[in-house]
Amino acid sequence: MLRAIDAYPGEFVTGCALRLSPLLFVRPGELRAAEWSEIDLAKAEWRIPAARMKMRTIHIVPLATQAISILKELKPLTGRRVLVFPGAVDHTRPMSNNTINLALRRLGYTNQEMTAHGFRSMASTLLNEQGWNRDAIERQLAHAERDAVRAAYNYAEFMPERGKMMQAWANYLDTLKARAAGNEVRDATESLSAV
């Protein structure tokens, strides 16, 4: 799927949003409403204002080098506008809330197989299985603390660990893509030797 996303044949802006979805695993509405003024490529972070967050607190997304690369590709096209992902017809409004899901359907994935929101659960599951700090993962997902007493006292953001985690996550996704490409080459070689 990651390799199919990289080769997305549709609109370039949609392809960039699609490629960023597994890397950032923010809520789809947060991604599509991103503004260039919130993104600091030099600091490698995206600060989503509290007004756009479900929990109404500012959310910082550390940007892996792979995410920065995609944003740099996109900047010449939409960088003079307010929105990173403007709508195709009205550039003052974000792309449709169904754009990423429709792109996944175009790639052949049903809504039972993957949705734009599904990148969040995928990342959470795999990062937990890889042994990353549960609190850092939950903060990166912008989830509120469920324990009311703990929430009243724990304001930790885990930023250094989250930065490392996001880069490690992006590297892991690259490894999966490379492994899939290697399997295709191996399968093709085996098919040729069988002929």
> What pLDDT is recorded for position 151?
38
> What pLDDT is recorded for position 58?
85
* Beta strands in the chain, from DSSP E residues, in sequence order: 39-40, 45-48, 59-62
Q: Is 172 a catalytic residue?
A: no
For residue 33, pLDDT over 90 is answered with yes
Domain harbouring 102, CATH code = 1.10.443.10
Q: Is 91 a catalytic residue?
A: no
Q: pLDDT tens for residues 160-190?
A: 999 999 999 999 999 999 998 887 645 544 4
Catalytic residue, chosen from 19, 120, 139, 162, is: 120
Catalytic residue, chosen from 54, 81, 93, 186, is: 54
Catalytic residue, chosen from 52, 143, 164, 177, is: 143
> What pLDDT is recorded for position 184?
64
Q: Tokens for 81?
A: 């506008």
Q: 144 falls in which pLDDT band (50, 70, 90)? A: low
Q: How many structural domains comprise the chain?
A: 1
Residue 70's alpha-carbon distances to 36, 101, 117, 147, 185, in angstroms, are 13, 19, 20, 37, 26
For residue 147, pLDDT over 50 is answered with no
| Average pLDDT of the chain, as a whole number | 88
Q: Is 27 a catalytic residue?
A: yes
- DSSP, collapsed to helix, strand or coil, labels residue 11 as coil
Q: Is 52 a catalytic residue?
A: no
Matching residue, tokens 């009205």? 90
Q: Is 134 a catalytic residue?
A: no
Report the pLDDT averaged over residues 6-33: 96
Catalytic residue, chosen from 19, 27, 32, 162, is: 27
**According to DSSP H, which parts of 12-78 are helical?**
12-24, 28-32, 65-78
> What pLDDT is recorded for position 56?
72
Q: Tokens for 109?
A: 């994935």
- How does strand 39-40 pair with strand 59-62? unpaired
| 70 in Cβ contact with 19 (< 8 Å) | yes
Could you list the residue range(s) of the whole structural domain that residue 102 is in?
2-194
> What pLDDT is recorded for position 186?
52
Report CA 60 to chain centroid distance, whole Å: 13
For residue 17, pLDDT over 80 is answered with yes
